[in-house]
A = this chain, B = another copy of it.
Amino acid sequence: MPLPADLLDAFRSVVGAEYVRTDDASRESYGVDALKRGHPADAVVSPDGAEQVSAIMRLCATHGVPLVPRGGGTGYTGGAVPTRGGVVLSLERMNRILELDEENLVVVVEPHVITGHLQDTVEKVGLFYPPDPASLRTSVIGGNVAECAGGPRAFKYGTTKQFVLGLQAVLPNGDIIETGGKVVKNVVGYDLTHLLVGSEGTLAVITRIILRLVPKPPVQSTLRATFATIAQAVQAVSNVIKARVVPAAVELIDGDCLEAVAAYLNVRSLAPAGTGALLLLEVDGLAEAVTEEAARCERACRDAGATEILRARDDAERQEIWRVRRELSPALKTITPLKFNHDVVVPKGRIPQLFDLVGRIKREYRLRIPCFGHAGDGNIHVNIMVTPGDDDETRRAHEAERVLFEGVLALEGSISGEHGIGFAKAKYLPLELDPQTIALMKRVKAAFDPDGILNPGKIFPN
């Protein structure tokens, strides 16, 4: 539905004519994200600064036009899709690192700084921003904050949430608020900062972010271990924790994934015959501690029955070990281009039960479901592979995802550890949250956005 000409003119007078796009190509391309199920925007507006965001927001509120904030568009649950049309507010011009305060271990950034670029910048001065979503070369920090992005290093360092100290944000009524600040401790009023983290762009548009940094660990040690079964690999992780080591990464890759990567790389095999699970462990810190911790990890794997253990002797070998993990995503695409990519999470000790559940689902629904993920925190990516156009398989896949979610919740887990709800999982929200909690969340939403202008149709089932 085209927006009124006077509204478009008003947008142009705020941001400049070249930053208001209504051509079909823009409306389409900004209407889709990594979920690949989109809806065209009515207009794409690119503001520069909180004042412009505020002005656009006020205009949308006055005209009852939905506004959907957009970062890198790398989300897997459709959080940036304008499902009801309206304005996509692309923050692409707000991409500056405003301040790097080495003394206070703080960096202040605009939302559209690419996460990997931020990491490179702070690492040049010996500092470290740990959260490392797989999308870090294309996703932006504002999107990471809006979704509370995770990644392999979350087990040791925590997710995005643990690094956000303060925000500037624009409310649906146009108010510009500042939450938190540059100090690590702050207990003045309610913690709006962490309410906004992970709120998927439904409460406010984030226009500035203050992040905590830590010293960059000087040394890493990386090892891979192969096991006949998932249960043995998880036992190895339990042994690592019993040995009181907290690795920076504990990645688990199942046999189906290994086969896919081997096929993709055109090699016969990446692991000994009969490998059901590969574990990738990385410890970091001072050299003195890393040597000891790596030895403990190796022992933990051996005690759990590892069939082979390789420890990287240099950075080239480290990159080689990580390669399998990095090639997973393109490799799975060669099986079939479409997957229902779920990021369920269970208490770590219950990962074997989760894989048992996936095994049953595979057999019962006749589906290919390669799995990999972050074994340290129980966050497993369950990829239900679907052949485009195969309606029967698609139906079975949808049934399977509900069975998966119900099983995960029975294991005291959660249906999403990293990707959020967006609109793709909104109908499943009541599986995890009781009606009272959902009602409370809707009242919180109304406290921010009484008219439902901001990113409507997300999180809550219709």
Question: Which residues of A pack against B, CB within 8 Å?
Answer: 101, 103-106, 126, 147-148, 150, 154-155, 158-159, 161-162, 171, 175-179, 181-192, 194-195, 197-199, 203, 214-216, 218, 238, 241, 244-246, 285-286, 288-289, 291-293, 345-349, 374, 377-379, 412-421, 429, 432-434, 436-441, 443-448, 459
A289: chain B residues within 8 A (beta carbon): 285-286, 288-289
Are A379 and B179 in contact, with the CB atoms below 8 A?
A: no
The chain B residue sitting closest to A177, CB to CB, is B437
Copies in the complex: 2
Q: Which of B158, B162, B182 contacts A347 (CB 8 A)?
A: B182
A436: chain B residues within 8 A (beta carbon): 171, 175-177
Q: Which of B419, B438, B447 contacts A443 (CB 8 A)?
A: B447
A413: chain B residues within 8 A (beta carbon): 181, 183
- Tell me the bound Cα distance from A177 to B441 in angstroms: 11
Supposing A171-B436, A436-B177 touch, asked if A192 and B441 sit within 8 A by C-beta, the answer is: yes
- Tell me the bound Cα distance from A187 to B432 in angstroms: 11
Are B187 and A147 in contact, with the CB atoms below 8 A?
A: yes
Q: Which of B101, B195, B245, B439 contacts A190 (CB 8 A)?
A: B195
Supposing A215-B241, A440-B192 touch, asked if A183 and B246 sit within 8 A by C-beta, the answer is: no
A374: chain B residues within 8 A (beta carbon): 185
The chain B residue sitting closest to A154, CB to CB, is B185
For the complex with contacts A187-B417, A190-B195, A190-B445, 11 further pairs of A-B residues with Cβ separation under 8 Å are A103-B348, A103-B349, A126-B244, A186-B416, A187-B416, A187-B418, A187-B419, A191-B197, A288-B291, A443-B447, A444-B447
- Tell me the bound Cα distance from A378 to B216 in angstroms: 21
Are A379 and B286 in contact, with the CB atoms below 8 A?
A: no
Q: Which of B187, B441, B459 contacts A420 (CB 8 A)?
A: B187
Q: How far is the CB of A212 from chain B (nearest CB, A)?
A: 10
Are B185 and A414 in contact, with the CB atoms below 8 A?
A: yes
Closest 7 CB pairs of A and B: A185-B417, A289-B289, A215-B244, A288-B288, A443-B447, A103-B349, A194-B194
Q: Which of B171, B182, B346 contacts A183 (CB 8 A)?
A: B346
Are A159 and B177 in contact, with the CB atoms below 8 A?
A: no
Are A191 and B417 in contact, with the CB atoms below 8 A?
A: no
Residue picked from A184, A216, A429, most chain B C-beta under 10 Å: A184
Residue picked from A189, A192, A194, most chain B C-beta under 10 Å: A189
* Sample of 11 A–B contacts (CB below 8 Å): A101-B349, A150-B185, A161-B194, A171-B436, A175-B436, A178-B437, A185-B374, A185-B414, A187-B419, A216-B244, A286-B293
The chain B residue sitting closest to A428, CB to CB, is B188
A419: chain B residues within 8 A (beta carbon): 187
- Tell me the bound Cα distance from A230 to B420 in angstroms: 47
Q: Which of B184, B194, B292, B347 contacts A101 (CB 8 A)?
A: B347
- Tell me the bound Cα distance from A379 to B256 in angstroms: 51
Supposing A162-B162, A288-B291, A444-B444 touch, asked if A189 and B414 sit within 8 A by C-beta, the answer is: no
Q: How far is the CB of A241 from chain B (nearest CB, A)?
A: 7
A181: chain B residues within 8 A (beta carbon): 412-414
A437: chain B residues within 8 A (beta carbon): 177-179, 189, 192
